[in-house]
Chain A
């Protein structure tokens, strides 16, 4: 039975997290330390110890996730706790600072923690919203199916274009050959289409070929529509119309594919921040704790 990790056991971890947040905020408000609130008062040490324990437990989620034979709590329960306790950590650790920030290792540890938690919140959001968006965008297909559908259209188009001759044939074939999506991280995440096409350009009487951009097959469609408008031969016009139908469908598939790559990338990118920053946080936290007591 599928259920969201957010409502695992009726959101039990949410209540644990809320209890932690409210009790620490109450303690902070009630506590009037001699001097200024900071990490060195008894409440500061308590909050710091609690926050450190939380960080260790939250990090252990990465270990538990890979312990496939472990029965130490369900993985969904662990994730639920990870998310809610992670949220409460933001409050606990910030109260631990007593709002004393500066350009130092201590604030660096806090800032890394905030980045980790914020990236985690982003992860929760995309895991909550994006699967539905991805499914909706794919319209029941898989990414491989979209690709093979495009390949099928390409084959059909190359057959149809045989009856048309230049310049349509060269444009269609180069649009297939120079089709290019995905690539680097930015290309994937921005949904960029670097497809190109060779088109005929007329300079006076001389005609030459030039490579131009063809995002989502739009340039090819424009060229074919132009040819159709100038066509006087009904048979040629029929073939062009068929070709335009095919490429329009391909354009739609390409847009779906680009959106799919983008959504999938956005759903995964946060982990590339969350995990390395977590490890950086662990090292910085260790440095913070050691240095504080080194210079007690």
Chain B
């Protein structure tokens, strides 16, 4: 089809200028795209805005974009064009002209002037964030940076270094206190330190020193003696190597056995001479047999000495100078007591846990043995006993007793006969008789007591050959600390029977060792990493700060 486009120029009415252009097209495409037949520049015109086509003898306009076209003042999508119709597209007005000769369609085209009518002015509205006042991210960035740097670093650093400022800052409300710098909560035991960080952190940029800990913990025992040849092993180790503060309540003392195992797994490499303790890294998997600390009688110094710890062997014997038969005392049928009755004893008839629940209370003769083993010597007077533990006084007691007996019976009878006046008194006669009788009787009873009946039942007794009236009872000392390097809390094992660990019912001699070996403990106590059984780390039994008793051999 042939389309005439009349572009209207300046002027008005009949004198208005125009320029004609003829297009030969299949259909007239209108838009701002350069491929459009009728090109209308301007933002408000779409690239392909509309097209006019001939169909069934009628010219139709069809809007292609969302903006649509306005035909005679009405928005429309599709419309049939008639002569005189006005089409508005963007700022352009097309008018359908009466069709002249030689063309199929004639359109006039003019650019509309901007009317002076009220319209929305986009410059009045703020439609971008960066157009907002104060919305400058760099400004906020530097502000926050400065605030944090000043408030969180420079000012606190200044206060930390100026000790006279600290109290006034700590008293100021709203200012974050020292806890704002804690990497974690203090252990409550250290709450007495309060907010004084410098109590432990004595100098900036250096680690907490042991001296800071020792200032309060003065009595803490060392692990090894200062005179130990290998104190260099501990160089660089700090209290804080094991005690990690700022971890709250539970983690101040770690039960992790690796704290011990990292040294005790390779002591032979760390120490210059042979280690006094064997390798141990895990109670169940890697722990030496128990070694017992024994008491030894030193005849020269007349004292007991705790011997170096010895491995349990068949030949190892306790030498307490006591004679005792556990099996006989624990006979399930009973044992004859003082009154001649049969009495069944159990372990706790004699052995009780001491206050504190760790050790067993000591065995006392008067309390535990005396009720059966009374030190009586006269059948006529069974209440009368000699004192225990004082052999020298035994004979004196007997002499006093029999002298009194002599006076009461023999001398009183002689008195009754009377003395004739002028006659010599028979007192010296009586005296001589009494002295002889008392001495003879006392010695006989003493010999019986010491060597046959009372003392010898339990004790090793020797008679002094040069002084026959003296007997020597060997001193008795029961071992209180078998496992010197560890603690065994008896009370916490009250669920078990004594016999589960101590084979007392089979022991007939006081020399027998009744401390169980490690396998007995390992029946229940497994290693720390064990999945079954009681998980037991090193500090279940041992303590690090245990210089007392742990290494008697290396004490200064």
Chain A contacts to B: CB under 8 angstroms:
32, 34-36, 38-40, 100, 102-106, 108, 139-145, 147-152, 154-156, 158-160, 173, 176-177, 179-185, 188, 241-242, 245-246, 249, 257, 261, 264-265, 268-269, 271-272, 274-280, 282-284, 286-287, 290-296
Which positions 88-140 of chain B face chain A at CB distance < 8 Å?
A: 88, 90-91, 114-115, 117-122, 125-130, 132, 135, 137-138, 140
Q: Are B118 and A158 in contact (CB under 8 A)?
A: yes
Q: Does B541 touch A at the CB level, under 8 Å?
A: no
Partner of B251, one of A35, A291, A293: A35
**A157–B91 CA distance with the chains assembled, in angstroms:** 15
Partner of A151, one of B120, B142, B204, B254: B120
**A39–B244 CA distance with the chains assembled, in angstroms:** 12
Given contacts A36-B247, A139-B66, A249-B68, contact A188 B201 (CB under 8 A): no
Q: 13 A-B contacts, Cβ less than 8 Å apart?
A: A34-B259, A144-B122, A149-B44, A151-B120, A158-B118, A160-B73, A173-B118, A185-B135, A188-B129, A268-B129, A291-B153, A291-B181, A294-B204
Partner of B126, one of A183, A268, A287, A294: A183
Partner of A284, one of B120, B152, B208: B152
Residues of chain B within 8 A of A139, CB atoms compared: 66
Partner of B152, one of A34, A141, A184, A287: A287
**A275–B66 CA distance with the chains assembled, in angstroms:** 40
**Other A-B pairs beyond A181-B125, A183-B126, A276-B140, 7, CB < 8 Å:** A39-B183, A152-B119, A154-B117, A242-B73, A268-B128, A295-B201, A296-B207
Which positions 286-313 of chain B face chain A at CB distance < 8 Å?
A: none
Q: Does B182 touch A at the CB level, under 8 Å?
A: yes
**A276–B156 CA distance with the chains assembled, in angstroms:** 22
Q: Are A185 and B132 in contact (CB under 8 A)?
A: yes
Given contacts A182-B126, A269-B129, contact A102 B157 (CB under 8 A): no
**A272–B44 CA distance with the chains assembled, in angstroms:** 34
Say how far B483's CB is from chain A's closest CB, in angstroms: 27
Say how far A68's CB is from chain B's closest CB, in angstroms: 17
Interface hub of B43, B88, B130, B206 (most chain A Cβ within 10 A): B43
Nearest B residue (CB) for A187 = B126
Residues of chain A within 8 A of B115, CB atoms compared: 155, 158-159
Bitwise interface map of B from 32 to 76 toward A, beta carbon under 8 Å scored 1, else 0: 000000000001101100000000000000000111101001110
Nearest A residue (CB) for B132 = A185
Say how far B394's CB is from chain A's closest CB, in angstroms: 62
- Leading 8 A-B pairs by shortest Cβ distance: A283-B148, A279-B145, A280-B144, A147-B122, A276-B140, A154-B119, A287-B152, A279-B141
Say how far B459's CB is from chain A's closest CB, in angstroms: 53
**A31–B126 CA distance with the chains assembled, in angstroms:** 56
Given contacts A102-B182, A139-B66, A286-B153, contact A152 B118 (CB under 8 A): no
Partner of A102, one of B67, B68, B184: B184
Interface size counted on chain B using CB atoms at 8 A: 71
Say how far A138's CB is from chain B's closest CB, in angstroms: 10
**A181–B120 CA distance with the chains assembled, in angstroms:** 11
Q: Are A283 and B141 in contact (CB under 8 A)?
A: no
Residues of chain A within 8 A of B143, CB atoms compared: 276
**A148–B121 CA distance with the chains assembled, in angstroms:** 9
Q: Are B46 and A140 in contact (CB under 8 A)?
A: yes
Q: Are B258 and A148 in contact (CB under 8 A)?
A: no
Say how far A30's CB is from chain B's closest CB, in angstroms: 15
Residues of chain A within 8 A of B375, CB atoms compared: none
Say how far B357's CB is from chain A's closest CB, in angstroms: 29
Q: Are B75 and A185 in contact (CB under 8 A)?
A: no
Q: Are B145 and A280 in contact (CB under 8 A)?
A: yes
Q: Are B145 and A104 in contact (CB under 8 A)?
A: no
Residues of chain A within 8 A of B185, CB atoms compared: 102
Partner of B117, one of A104, A158, A245, A278: A158
Residues of chain B within 8 A of A143, CB atoms compared: 127
Q: Are A284 and B140 in contact (CB under 8 A)?
A: no
Q: Does B234 touch A at the CB level, under 8 Å?
A: no
Say how far A27's CB is from chain B's closest CB, in angstroms: 18
Given contacts A35-B256, A296-B207, contact A142 B43 (CB under 8 A): yes
Residues of chain A within 8 A of B354, CB atoms compared: none
Interface hub of B65, B145, B185, B259 (most chain A Cβ within 10 A): B145
Residues of chain B within 8 A of A176, CB atoms compared: 118-120
